[in-house]
Amino acid sequence: MTHVQNSGATGQLLIGERLSPMAYHVAVEQAEGHYRVTVEALAPRDWLIRQGFERCATLLLASGNRVELEHQERVDVSDNISVVLRAPPLDYDDHVALFAAFPEVEDGFSSRIVTGPSKILFDPVQTTRLMNS
């Protein structure tokens, strides 16, 4: 897989019936004609425990879509002070579907050109410099 884009946004974390603002990170990779997205958020352990979080919660993305975030085990005071919550990888067939689900990745994405089968990421500025040298 070729790493294509990192981005961040703020959504809402739903634990039980409580919504709370939550920053999250999106990483996009490309492989064999599709895009794979990983989503994770970092939350304070004690806050999660007070909210009633055990192992999973729903993240409402900036786009309005929802993803389930999980922690490997039930969160308790023996965990690190900051707990990483991760969604299972999400796959998208094309950039249109990707941008619909994660509009926050579109800004930096458009400045990159991704080739087909070779999966090499080209930087147009660097390519122009190499051609002119």
Q: Is the pLDDT of residue 130 over 70?
A: no
Share of the chain above pLDDT 70, in %: 80
Total tally of structural domains belonging to the chain? 1
Q: Which domain, by its residues, includes 59? A: 2-132
| Confidence label for 133 from pLDDT (cuts 50, 70 and 90) | very low
- Dihedral sign from CA coordinates of 53, 55, 60, 62: positive
pLDDT in tens, 22-60: 999 999 999 888 999 999 999 999 999 999 999 999 999
pTM over 0.85: no
Report the pLDDT value the prediction gives residue 124, as an integer from 0 to 100: 42
